[in-house]
Structure 1
């Protein structure tokens, strides 16, 4: 397995976990694909917002930090989708 495949799998894992966490916090079901899409979009939104607001979570583990960032972004995305709908 080369580095690109490994990075893609890690990114997908983070997206799925973040989407699942957002669904736990806000309610609502969904399958693996929905968790993945919500988490990936949330990762971009959370990463952008944390960068603009200069927020550093202070976790030693990079993957935990990325999961939290993506989860916060996924919650924002779900809330915005509910407001628009």
Structure 2
């Protein structure tokens, strides 16, 4: 259970960095990563891709979290943090 949360935290942070939105704080990264792990597992299963081990879990969770962030940003009108003007 704790390992699942650690993988979710890492993948949420990676997705935030890759999607150019920055991190979302520890709780936001954790939630994004955990939800992304379900989405990534579903998508990889749908495509017939199997992942094994910790690295495979992080990769599939990160892909799912990026998809989640893409969908959220598609339906929200808030600009990503990288594009906000101060």
- Unpaired segments ≥5 residues, structure 1: 1-7
**Who is 2:17 aligned against?**
24
- Distance in 1 between the 2:17 and 2:3 partners? 21
- Distance in 1 between the 2:17 and 2:46 partners? 27
- Which segments of structure 1 move beyond 6 Å, counting only runs of 4 or more? none
Q: TM-score, normalised by structure 2?
A: 0.82
Matches within 5 A, 1:10-49: 10-28=3-21, 29-49=23-43
- Unpaired segments ≥5 residues, structure 2: 77-86
Q: CA RMSD in A?
A: 1.1
Q: How many residues align?
A: 75
Q: TM-score, normalised by structure 1?
A: 0.83
